[in-house]
Structure 1
Amino acid sequence: MTKKIVVLPGDGIGPEIVAEAVKILEKFREEGLNINLEYGLIGGAAYDETGTPLPAETLEMSKQADAILLGAVGGYKWESLDISVRPEKGLLGIRSELNLFANLRPAILYPQLADASTLKPEVVAGLDLMIVRELTGGIYFGQPRGIRTLDNGEKQGFNTLVYRESEINRIGKVAFDIAAKRQGRVCSVDKANVLESTELWRETMTTLSKSYPDIELSHMYVDNAAMQLVRAPKQFDVMVTTNMFGDILSDCASMLTGSIGMLPSASLDENSKGMYEPIHGSAPDIAGQNIANPLATILSAAMMLRYTLDEASMADRIEKAVSKVLDDGLRTADIYSAGMTKVSTSEMGDAVLAAL
């Protein structure tokens, strides 16, 4: 049965990095992987052409797909737009409409890049943690929200942080199930000492843990978690947290690995249908220069093969190929160090393809 993959290059460096991941998927298709690729618009590129960051055609196409490969959205060009039509609304919209509630963000330090991390090698060597971020609830989606004018004429911005037990339970189950296949430890991150919504989060995670007696559950306030990620990141196995906290902590964790350009992500629904994207942004300052790092996007394609297409062996091959090109000393600008060979976006993609 043919699997449908929707490709959404998006904005900035998105088209460049997605093109390199598509090379890999095309190679597997030549080897017999039964997939069909369809392209769509999202973000600023979609706004420019259709007046909306998430066209109905893109949304419908994505709903019919088995998986989505996304580049990035946003850029300086669209910052002056009303918030309702900014590129990021396309990304938030597709996550919400497809109910992609579980965001998996691995932070793995390739041994070849230990010196690229800003932390001492002994602190980060062997790092392998998974951040599980709740993606369709919390303050990014809570209502009411907006900007209003008070009686005294002063403007006030407001957002609502809200979580239901069912939302917490389903993301918690994802985290516990992943931990069962790893080291068996889950750290739930909250701010239960000052936020009632995350007090409920902690209570719900504690109750859920009783169904997973073999998994060790710990709790940590988000400010301490940020500090601990820098102080001793290898203490963590799986971290599970809210939408906003996960957004911030996963970017923090990304720099432990040497570059945000190395980290993939998966956003899954309850049936493992998912959207796969690098966790970095659109980097408009380097767009079109063929210098962006495509490895996070290529590794996102590997996650797609593993989690949605059930092709673990192909995912393994991609990950080994990435390790091989790093062994060979190839580096894009963001991970370059003296003595290595600096390569472009397309050259890195070609090198991974050759290593396959």
Structure 2
Amino acid sequence: MKTHKILTLAGDGIGPEVLAEAVRFLKRLEALGLARFEFEDDLAGGASIDARGVPLSPETLARAKLADAVLFGAVGGPKWDGKGPYHLRPEQGILGLRQGLGLYANLRPARCYAPLAAASSLKQELVEGLDILIVRELTGGVYFGQPKEIVTLEDGQRRATDTQVYTTSEIERIARVAFELARSRGNFVHSAEKNNVMRTGSLWKETVTELHAAEYADVTLHHILADNCGMQLVRRPKQFDVMVMDNLFGDILSDVAAMLTGSLGMLPSASLGAVSPATGKRAALYEPIHGTAPDIAGQNKANPLAMLASTEMMLRYSLDEAPLADALSSAIEAVLARGLRTPDIAAPGTTVVGTAEMGAAVAEEVANILEVAA
């Protein structure tokens, strides 16, 4: 049985609490004799700034490059807001990992579990059965373009510049990911941009169109303006299957999609790099998108399900453990069907539990599912 090497970076706020539940689950798999893991723990974000003076040390990045996958909690919080230079803020920890590992493809599923359909901000009939996969380009665009600066002009005004920049190859590789994933799902892709006002949007649309015609004509392609896409997500979300977009629009629209599922605490993500020709492996990082939630940190109130769903994605995309991933997905649904809820998704008639209790319930349910299957 292969040993999977996992680097855990808990980060700040509720990061350590939710990551602990993912590790608990993986250790339960070990106890059942179903998998083997080697865990290495390290620091990122504010925790790394406090201990080492930087949000991501070169040593941590080196460990990430050697791991089979990285499990990441969350970074940031009021303690570090507006303090220190821009390049030493906690968020630079995750940006540094994305850039250093070449994690250009961010997969953000927005799935509405049946027991949570009534918890969505939208009418239940609009979200029942919802299953969207947003593919976000992660290492280009306005977050990484140069120049990125604030300068003082001769007249005393200050001017801020963020540069949106994309190359054909960057667009092609993320579109290729979206088309390949669509073939295993509903076989259609929406590509979102702003070609009407942005030159990068024009190049994006042209490049995706040409790639589609050359290699993926069997997949249905729809182009959609990003602002209209946001409107359609709350108007008729089930029209979407796979959605591909740039870094900025992916960041914004995936958070919109998250609320369709009932809570940001339900949305996982996977960030993937290119497959290495030498090893056949790809760098990968898995994290919930809910942030550090400092107002509830340390109170056993955080929802660990996005972290556990991120672990499911890790089992599926990095560790070649699809049956275990399927069992984890089924366990999350089963626990929700039993009425267990953390405070963010609580509703009348449900049982409110804490972070640890929810994590333990999912781990136990997975054990039951796998023992039955065995």
- Counterpart in 2 of 1:18? 19
Q: Take 1:273 and 1:315, find their aligned partners in 2: how far apart are those partners?
A: 19
Map 1:6-155 → 2, pairs under 5 A: 6-30=7-31, 31-81=33-83, 82-155=85-158
- 1:347 and 2:357 matched: yes
Q: Take 1:306 and 1:140, find their aligned partners in 2: how far apart are those partners?
A: 28
Which residue identity is paired with 1:38?
Answer: E
What is the Cα-based RMSD across aligned positions, in Å?
0.7
Which digits, 9 at most, give the CA deviation of each residue in 1:141-198, with x for residues without a partner?
Answer: 0011100011111000101000000000000000000000001100000000000011
Q: Take 2:186 and 2:203, find their aligned partners in 1: how far apart are those partners?
A: 26
- 1:235 and 2:236 matched: no
- Counterpart in 2 of 1:194? 197
- Counterpart in 1 of 2:187? 184
Map 1:297-312 → 2, pairs under 5 A: 297-312=307-322
Q: Which runs of 5+ in 2 are unaligned?
A: 276-281, 367-374
Give the C-alpha shift of residue 94 in structure 1: 0.5
- 1:292 and 2:294 matched: no
Which residue identity is paired with 1:287?
Answer: A
Q: Take 1:25 and 1:335, find their aligned partners in 2: how far apart are those partners?
A: 24
Which residue identity is paired with 1:56?
Answer: P
Q: Counterpart of 1:71 in 2: which secondary structure?
A: strand
Which digits, 9 at most, give the CA deviation of each residue in 1:220-241, with x for residues without a partner?
Answer: 1110000000000000000000
Which residue identity is paired with 1:26?
Answer: K
Which digits, 9 at most, give the CA deviation of each residue in 1:196-235, with x for residues without a partner?
Answer: 0110000000001011111001101110000000000000
Q: Take 1:117 and 1:220, find their aligned partners in 2: how far apart are those partners?
A: 24
Q: Take 1:10 and 1:145, find their aligned partners in 2: how far apart are those partners?
A: 26
Q: Counterpart of 2:146 in 1: which secondary structure?
A: coil
- 1:280 and 2:290 matched: yes
- 1:338 and 2:339 matched: no
Q: Take 2:162 and 2:267, find their aligned partners in 1: how far apart are those partners?
A: 29
Give the C-alpha shift of residue 353 in structure 1: 1.1
Q: Take 2:322 and 2:25, find their aligned partners in 1: how far apart are those partners?
A: 15
Maintained 8 Å contact 2:22/2:308: yes
Q: Counterpart of 2:55 in 1: which secondary structure?
A: coil
Which digits, 9 at most, give the CA deviation of each residue in 1:15-49, with x for residues without a partner?
Answer: 00000011111112222413211001000000000
Which residue identity is paired with 1:53?
Answer: P
Maintained 8 Å contact 2:54/2:88: yes
Q: Take 1:122 and 1:6, find their aligned partners in 2: how far apart are those partners?
A: 40
Q: Take 2:122 and 2:161, find their aligned partners in 1: how far apart are those partners?
A: 37
Q: Counterpart of 1:144 in 2: which secondary structure?
A: strand
- Counterpart in 2 of 1:4? 5
- Counterpart in 1 of 2:229? 225
Give the C-alpha shift of residue 13 in structure 1: 0.1
Query: 167, 170, 176: which is aligned to 2:170?
Result: 167
Give the C-alpha shift of residue 279 in structure 1: 1.0
- Counterpart in 2 of 1:268? 272
- Matched length: 356
Which residue identity is paired with 2:107?
Answer: L
Give the C-alpha shift of residue 77 in structure 1: 0.5
| Alignment TM-score, normalising by the size of structure 1 | 0.99
Write out the 4+ residue segments of structure 1 that deviate beyond 4 Å after TM superposition: none
- Counterpart in 2 of 1:253? 257
Which residue identity is paired with 2:325?
Answer: A
